[in-house]
Structure 1
Amino acid sequence: MKIFLLMIMSNLAIGAHFPEGNEKQDGNPYFITRLFKTIDETHSIVTTVDLRKEDKRNEGNANISLRRNVSRFVQYGFEADLNYGHRHDNDWQQNTSTGNWSWKKSSENIDFGSSLFLKLRRDISIKEKLFTGSVNLKTHNNWTKTLLTLKPELILTYHHFDAGAHKYNIYFKNSYYIPLNYSSKDIYISWYYLGWMFNYSKQVKPFAFIAYKDQTWTKSKDFKRAHPDENYELSSKFSYLGVGFNYYF
């Protein structure tokens, strides 16, 4: 009996430095609001705030961007962002006093970042139906954690008209986080959105959407230091039900 107990305790000790298994949860709440302010014919400011829940973690983002329209089809700009509650690979840490392993509380993470972006769009007419395809190329620097990321994004939007009036849009969006100086994965996060936006007025456009996020966690700095010959790879897969609105000044 003692030998059996010792074997169990030994197995637990061996696995104690690995994070728990994969995360998966459906139907997480997600809220987004965007404020658009036109400065002149070519410049605008966009402020975005979004809040979402991932399992037991609460995440929030706020960003403000200055955009310049080169033409109807080309736009570029600069964005500054503040992020709350985001978990990172290196948050899997070892307590130096007890030797125990655990995730750092994500509520302690407040990250500041900035981005440069270029957006290209094109209108497409198919059998008198209007679609817009756009590609957003973004470089992001998390200054707090010194994390560099490429964030390409693809969007396809269908515009529905009734008696000449623009009634609503249906859109699909797909984005990727490609790490440049962290993670061992080529793609760190994948996002997928499917949404519907109602053109209530020129100023107010509410929308609803579903979203899916696939994220992969790889070895933290603490883990590499303590266990250089071991490895782990875990995933977090979350789906969301979201609402929000755009407001145009």
Structure 2
Amino acid sequence: MPRFHCAVPLQAGLALALPPGAARHVQVLRMQPGEALTLFDGRGGEYAAVVERMGRSEVTVNVGAHDPVEREAPQAVHLALGMPANDRMDWLVEKATELGVASIQPLMTAHGVLRLAGERAEKKRAHWEAIAIAACEQCGRNRVPQLHPVRAYADWLGDAHTDDGVQRIVLSLVPGTQPLAALPAAGAWQVLSGPEGGLSADEEARALAQGFRPSRLGPRVLRAETAALAALTLLGGA
């Protein structure tokens, strides 16, 4: 059954004109009055709904019963990463959403190619959020991961807290670093991962000084987007 994110609060019994994005998707699928669909608003669970009317640019639905089903990962994992270039960041956001990431913090780092600021940075954030929403619609998640605004590494690290119960790790290639799979269980994780070329030595040292724990994924050197997803899979239990 088609699933659509609806960025307005939903409740059973509501007659609702779908937001433009969802309405456009319903029209592309050529759905007709009387056909069933599923809606979710990101607050948890999902709603059965039925198309009531198809207009030229407006789609009206009747919202039915709420199902409190959740499909989140057992452990919350927050990714903070140096943005990979080209379309690799798009791919990473999509796959991380499917794997259950709780939030994504894009960072500008010393070795990173991508440099974003101002309106361009906000457009990219909105673009990645749309990718995450589409991934949630496809994979069955009812909660959209938070896409934080792009930040410079030093500014973000200066605001990082170490007393909120989140276990923080930085993916590292330093010999002798403890394997990620050997870490003890935690209630929530924050994973810091570098871009192509990794974090600089200074950036990694500053992360360690802030309480991040160095960890490695294995004997092979993974691409930036692969490393982040591998860590998410290992820690999130997806």
Question: TM-score under structure 2 normalisation?
Answer: 0.25
Q: More strand per residue: 1 or 2?
A: 1
Greater C-alpha radius of gyration: 1
Q: More helix per residue: 1 or 2?
A: 2
Using CA pairs below 8 Å that are at least 6 residues apart, which structure has the higher relative contact order? Answer: 2
Question: TM-score under structure 1 normalisation?
Answer: 0.25
